[in-house]
């Protein structure tokens, strides 16, 4: 009896301290937004010959006042617990739009920017018109903005999310299914999704070319993309052997540390 009581008291204490940590970080994130502590890096996505930079993916980082840089995996899940993610997402897309306009002016004329989106941003029927307004203010055409959504996000609330996706596609925005292969989308549902590309999850790319399971999955995703007329992007490409495999089986777009780590806008400008 005593053990049970102790156990539940410990659980309660652990829950309390987790909640306290969550609330503290939420407050810090609020402060970070108004104090301009967030910044973006951009990771290039290249064509299969690794010659032409076709797109860049915007990746958020948080520089704390003590100089420590926090990665999105740490704070985005916390922001997703509240409406804060919607405000952070709006900052990301606006900043990415302005940065892309600057890169277009600098000569990267047809470059596209990919922006990651979270679930709460997507269950909003006015998202398409809001994004149109943001992009028009930046002077960027909708076809130059690609929204990255995970399969999990789409499949959790398909009735709300798919109509928003369809409206975005109608306006000319692109949509990519991120971390593809990690979610639970049925093929019958997937074929109806209004998307323009798939991103093969890094966990499958990492086993190439030797892991037979990963090799089979990657080839299957490439075939699926080809038959569904979707572009396929391989992310997390770190070795020449992975690149050679992906080229051999017809992957059209490559992203990974082998070709480029995420860069600042200034570093990208210097490439031209
Ligand atoms: P993601 O969208 O799948 O982004 C790709 C992640 O893989 C990035 O990590 C990138 O730096 C990393 N990566 C790329 N190539 C390689 C490689 O060759 N090797 C290895 N080991 N890693 C590679 P990052 O920047 O830490 O972002 C992590 C995740 O945080 C993203 O995964 C995305 O889900 C989320 N995220 C990033 N920025 C945003 C944002 O603005 N909004 C939202 N909602 N989520 C974001
Ligand atoms: Mg992504
Ligand atoms: Mg990904």
Q: Which residue has the tokens 């704390």?
A: 64
Distance in Å, CA 227 to ligand 2 centroid = 23
Give me 115's structure tokens.
């922006």
Ligand 1: atom nearest CA of 115 is 41
Overall average pLDDT of the 245-265 stretch? 97
265 closest CA partner among 116, 103, 32:
103
pLDDT tens digits, 147-196 = 999 988 888 888 899 999 999 999 999 999 998 888 766 777 788 899 99
Question: In angstroms, rounded to a whole number, what is the distance separating the alpha carbons of residues 168 and 198?
Answer: 17
- Is 51 exposed, middle or buried, given 0-12, 13-18 or 19+ CB atoms closer than 10 A? exposed
pLDDT of residue 152: 85
Exposure string over 54-66, b if 16+ CB within 10 A, otherwise e: bbbbbbbebeeee
Ligand 3 ion: nearby residues, β-carbon < 5 Å = 178-179
- CA distances (Å), origin 63, targets 33, 152, 246: 11, 29, 35
56 CA → ligand 1 middle, Å: 12
CA distance 193 to 155: 10
* Pocket lining for ligand 1, CB < 6 angstroms: 43, 58-60, 71-73, 76, 92, 116-118, 148, 178-179, 235-238, 255-257, 262
pLDDT digits (tens, 9 = 90+) for 86-119: 999 999 999 999 999 999 999 999 999 999 999 8
């Amino acid at each position: 009896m005593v053990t049970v009581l102790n156990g539940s008291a410990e659980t309660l204490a652990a829950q309390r301290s987790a909640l306290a940590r969550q609330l503290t970080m939420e407050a810090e994130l609020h402060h970070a937004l108004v104090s301009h502590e967030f910044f973006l890096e951009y990771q290039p996505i290249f064509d299969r010959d690794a010659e032409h930079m076709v797109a860049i993916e915007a990746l958020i980082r948080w520089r704390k006042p003590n100089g420590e840089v926090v990665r999105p995996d740490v704070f985005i899940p916390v922001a997703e617990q509240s409406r804060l993610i919607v405000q952070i997402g709006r900052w990301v897309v606006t900043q990415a739009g302005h940065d892309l306009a600057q890169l277009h002016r600098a000569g990267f004329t047809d470059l596209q920017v990919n922006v990651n989106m979270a679930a709460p941003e997507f269950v909003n029927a006015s998202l398409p018109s809001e994004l149109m307004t943001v992009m028009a203010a930046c002077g960027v055409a909708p076809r130059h903005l690609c929204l990255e959504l995970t399969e999990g996000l789409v499949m959790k609330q398909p009735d709300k999310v798919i109509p928003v996706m369809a409206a975005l596609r109608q306006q000319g925005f692109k949509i990519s299914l991120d971390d593809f292969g990690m979610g639970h989308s049925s093929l019958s549902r997937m074929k109806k999704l209004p998307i323009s590309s798939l991103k093969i999850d890094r966990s499958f790319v990492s086993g190439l070319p030797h892991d037979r399971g990963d090799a089979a999955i990657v080839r299957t995703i490439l075939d699926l993309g080809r038959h569904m007329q979707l572009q396929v992007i391989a992310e997390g490409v770190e070795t020449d052997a992975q690149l050679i495999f992906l080229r051999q089986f017809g992957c059209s777009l490559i992203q990974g540390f082998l070709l480029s780590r995420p860069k600042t806008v200034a570093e990208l400008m210097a490439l031209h």
